[in-house]
Structure 1
Amino acid sequence: MNMELHPAPYCPKEFVNRAEELDLIRKDIVQIGKGQSLDQPIVHFYGVPRIGKTWLLNHLAEQYKSPSSSLPSIVVLLLDCQTIAGAADVQSALLQVCKAERKEMSAVQDIPTLVEVFKTLATQAVLLFLLDTAEGLQDEDFGWLETEILEPLVLTGRVLIVVAGRAKAPRWQRLEMKRRVRYWPIRPFDYSMTVKQLRKVGLATSAPQSYSYTHEHPHASRQLAEIPDPRKKAKVLQALEPVEAELLRHVPPDRRDLVRGIAVLRHFNIGTLRAFLSRLMGAAYGKKSDAFYMDLLKEGLGNPDWLSWDQQSRSYIFAPTVRHILLARLRLAAPQLYQESHRAALNLYERWWIDLYPQNSVRFLVEAIYHQVAMWEISRQDQEQLRCELDNLLKQRLTKSNFSTEQAVELEHALQEDQELQLPSAVLEWLLRQCRRFKESCAAL
């Protein structure tokens, strides 16, 4: 049975990282305080669920609620859109929250008066308006907030608006507002950041085990670090399931296994998806229209902002943070589907894609190696078995008819730089020797 998701409440002493975001806001506040207008006084932070957006906004509110001799006078208002989204009257709910937050607004009875109070405050100080969980508001309510409150404040030139939400959604309706928005992705934590995060709560020793499942997701890392016995897979799965459930909340239930399977692919486009899913899910997926796959890319993966387009490879990249969580849960809960998904991808790259697109031989061979390693990891065979599997792959593909000397050099660099391959060091060294031998054999001709 799934656990409910209970994120840890914000605690100033436990806040770590996000130096870049904090510095960004500080510089904007200083600039406004000097009387210099900002071209883009709206900062829109976005990122996957539980990546740390709420903690960041709470930390900004905490940081600037007290006067500082090194900063201009600042008035802070933190509003959680989720708290007013469920109200029968969003405008009245917003008014009540503002009145409770600031004593200057206690006598305010309507929105126009509220805006005038805000404007007056902005003449005396920098107004820092923090809006959390922006996705909680319906488009109509967000549009009202934008038109009636935010735009008049932005035009004063004394207001910095910081919005946080799960998507870089095109919700801004007014042209004057759209051009004033800076979109800023909230990135996951790397390993050193995760160690720093867990050290703050006395769980640093759990970092290696936790990171091996979550890789970069701060909330999931803490959830796993708090497990009494992380060696028990059932406990790990119990901690991962609510995180995954929230990530897939907007994916139709009948498509969730589809998305989990797709998560094994590090790069894909419509052609890749069609070929991959026809191998994994059946021939019917090879006959589905481009419109079906476009719909899958736009909506079916849960959030269009989870996909980025890589011009060099001409393919989509699934947000690694999301993909790692899906893969970790899939490996524990459905190891057969996990292995079948990697096998279908290996078959795609090894037996067809390299022949069809020889100009991409290096990237496709690296992907084939990635999937071969993933299958080996779950099979629990020894390193010699992995080396034999890779040797067979190289004998078929690392040939003079498929690779040039330049491509062999590119392959060598790619293998060294790919952080996801998780190759045993001895096997990696063996692969690099194979690349060097191939280059030498080409040079001898």
Structure 2
Amino acid sequence: MTVIKLFPDVDFDPVLFVNREKEIDEFLKVYGAETNRKNCLLYASIPGQGKTRLLEKFCYLTQEKGGLAAFVDLESHPERKVSLILKEVVDHLKFLHNDKGFFDDFYRNIDACGAKKSLQKPNRPAVAEAEKCVIREFKKTLTSLMKTYRITLCFDSLEQANPDIFRLLKEKVLEDYFFEVNLTIVFAGQKGMVEDARRFMRDMPLALFGREDERKQIESLVDYYKVSISDIEEITRLIWDLAKGHPYTVKSILGILTDDFNEKFVDKFDKRRYSPIIRELKERVVEKRFLRGVDFDPRHPDPIEILSILSPLRRVEFGTIRLLLSNPNLTGDAFCEKSIRFYDEVVDKFVSDTNTLKHWVLGGGFTMDPVVRNILYIDLKINDLERFLHIHEALVMEYDKRIKSTAKMDQVKNLIEKIYHLFVWRRESEDAYAEEIARREFYRFIESLKGSKVDKYEQLGRLRKELEKDRELGELVNTGELVQRIKDDMRRIGNEIN
């Protein structure tokens, strides 16, 4: 083991940290800059994407370069006192500093502030004055340290911070140092829940791993825990299908396969293990990470059940949400005869309190987080096939109705969704002619196009464009053949027009 103690309450293992070269380079550029620059960085992403480990890595790199660092998890400070956060920062700086006596004045002075406050009646002005005293002493200490050291201050779990305390921390402490050469400030929080902070921080994107980076993480974990895998290629493919580059999911899957790394040998993967693995993954990743601590209305079904029902949707729109949730075969009577406002409240809960749904930039729909959708979709297909098929069948019927009542681009999008759900429904029903059925439906639409030749030509152009960019459908159905049919028809109609 290569664990080091970054701070009294924070352990870090540099050997287990892999990837994120781009983020490290960006941090080091800011940290090592010789001129004034905006030095407050924000890493916002979905849960389980490695934000905490990344901040620990920044603290580790700072120490390696002879600087001082501090790491504060804002979730551990629910109280309305910025003084406790500042004291933890100083505790960490002192832990790394060679001269422990340097901080004596800080502790002595804040003790005096506390003693003075205790002599007064407990009222808001006295408390506020004590907080001001700690802020004053902190800034004095930090300013003095920056004359000799480069310093990194890391604040994790920004989405959990008390809003008033965060505002006080920003306005009364950090704003005075936003362009200091010797100070780098890093915040991390859940994407979609820290939007106000973007206005004054440098927004640093944090992406999911690609295939190669995910492989590096797997190899690192296998090597670190001394696990032997008989077919690493097979396991790597399995993990990519489930995790799609999500670091926490990758580690969770390996943990499930090895009894939390206690088993040191993984034999050839047995497909019978797939069902319990995905069920446990659903609990570890979706319930305990994405939905952790969210208070849902007891009148509604289990939130993870709602998301599971919606997971087959590629276009999560209010109409399709209502269609599926109001189906008694899927949700019982929980959503029967409910008002539009009721549905709106349910959806808003997922959007505002979790990272599972977010609004489209344009239009009235939502995007489900790809990690959540992938896990729940596979779980539904493997562990509840009857419900899985019922949902796809219901969506085929719904999009068929929409095709008949819409025109132009909406009609094209509805057709493509119908073909997608039709193919999946028939394929998972073990219909050998699933692709032929989907293709026939597509040709039937083309042949039934109405209007002038110009109208038909334009509609075929829209359809071609949508098919060419739909990679998910292209992996299921031979869309190249469909696109060629469209090109032929457009060429023929174009000649007739001319």
TM-score normalised by the shorter chain: which range applies?
0.7 to 0.9
Contact 1:132–1:163, Cα closer than 8 Å, also in 2: yes
Q: 1:421 maps to which residue?
A: 473
Q: 1:238 maps to which residue?
A: 280
Q: 2:77 maps to which residue?
A: 85
Flag the 1:243–1:153 CA change in 2: closer, same or farther, 3 A.
same
Q: 2:118 maps to which residue?
A: none
| SS state at 1:161 partner | strand
Pick from 248, 253, 273 the counterpart of residue 291 of structure 2.
Answer: 248
Q: Where in structure 2 are the equivalents of 1:400-411 lying within 5 Å?
A: 400-401=449-450, 404-411=456-463
Contact 1:230–1:236, Cα closer than 8 Å, also in 2: no
How many percent identity over aligned positions? 19
**TM-fit CA distance, 1:131:** 1.0
Give the length in aligned residue pairs. 420
Matched, 1:57 2:39: no
Q: 1:117 maps to which residue?
A: 141
Q: 2:245 maps to which residue?
A: 216
| SS state at 1:131 partner | strand
Contact 2:69–2:93, Cα closer than 8 Å, also in 1: no
Contact 1:37–1:158, Cα closer than 8 Å, also in 2: no
Matched, 1:34 2:84: no
Flag the 1:251–1:405 CA change in 2: closer, same or farther, 3 A.
farther
Q: Deviations over 1:182-225 (max 9, x none)?
A: 33442222333322322333475222111212323221123224
Contact 1:17–1:193, Cα closer than 8 Å, also in 2: yes
- Aligned partner letter, 1:18: R
- Structure with max Cα Rg: 2
Flag the 1:290–1:408 CA change in 2: closer, same or farther, 3 A.
same
**TM-fit CA distance, 1:288:** 4.7
Give structure 1 stretches of 5+ with no counterpart.
1-8, 68-72
Contact 2:44–2:194, Cα closer than 8 Å, also in 1: no
Pick from 433, 436, 440 the counterpart of residue 391 of structure 1.
Answer: 440
Instruction: State how far apart, in whole Å, the 2-side matches of 1:120 and 1:432 are.
Output: 68
Q: 1:181 maps to which residue?
A: 201
- Aligned partner letter, 2:36: Q
**TM-fit CA distance, 1:36:** 2.2
Q: Where in structure 2 are the equivalents of 1:125-136 lying within 5 Å?
A: 125-136=149-160
| SS state at 2:472 partner | coil
Flag the 1:268–1:305 CA change in 2: closer, same or farther, 3 A.
closer
**TM-fit CA distance, 1:245:** 0.7
Pick from 295, 299, 322 the counterpart of residue 274 of structure 1.
Answer: 322
Contact 1:241–1:329, Cα closer than 8 Å, also in 2: no
Instruction: State how far apart, in whole Å, the 1-side matches of 2:343 and 2:331 are.
Output: 14
Q: Deviations over 1:261-283 (max 9, x none)?
A: 22322233434433454456589
Which one is further off, 90-99 or 347-356?
A: 90-99
Q: 1:197 maps to which residue?
A: 217
Instruction: State how far apart, in whole Å, the 2-side matches of 1:234 and 1:178 are.
Output: 40
Instruction: State how far apart, in whole Å, the 2-side matches of 1:333 and 1:61 are.
Output: 43
Instruction: State how far apart, in whole Å, the 2-side matches of 1:22 and 1:127 are.
Output: 16
Instruction: State how far apart, in whole Å, the 2-side matches of 1:362 and 1:419 are.
Output: 16
Give structure 2 stretches of 5+ with no counterpart.
1-10, 111-133, 223-228, 258-265
Instruction: State how far apart, in whole Å, the 1-side matches of 2:334 and 2:79 are.
Output: 46
Q: Deviations over 1:241-266 (max 9, x none)?
A: 22111223326263422232223222
Instruction: State how far apart, in whole Å, the 2-side matches of 1:196 and 1:182 are.
Output: 28
**TM-fit CA distance, 1:153:** 3.3
Flag the 1:138–1:195 CA change in 2: closer, same or farther, 3 A.
same
Q: 1:4 maps to which residue?
A: none
Instruction: State how far apart, in whole Å, the 2-side matches of 1:163 and 1:92 are.
Output: 17
Q: CA RMSD in A?
A: 3.5
- Aligned partner letter, 1:34: E
| SS state at 1:142 partner | helix
**TM-fit CA distance, 1:55:** 1.8
Instruction: State how far apart, in whole Å, the 1-side matches of 2:440 and 2:215 are.
Output: 37
Instruction: State how far apart, in whole Å, the 2-side matches of 1:11 and 1:378 are.
Output: 44
**TM-fit CA distance, 1:12:** 2.4
Q: 1:6 maps to which residue?
A: none
- Aligned partner letter, 1:401: K
Q: 1:153 maps to which residue?
A: 177
What's the TM-score once normalised by structure 1's chain length? Answer: 0.80
Instruction: State how far apart, in whole Å, the 2-side matches of 1:390 and 1:283 are.
Output: 37
Instruction: State how far apart, in whole Å, the 2-side matches of 1:220 and 1:398 are.
Output: 46
- Aligned partner letter, 1:208: R
Contact 1:118–1:153, Cα closer than 8 Å, also in 2: no
Instruction: State how far apart, in whole Å, the 2-side matches of 1:124 and 1:398 are.
Output: 77
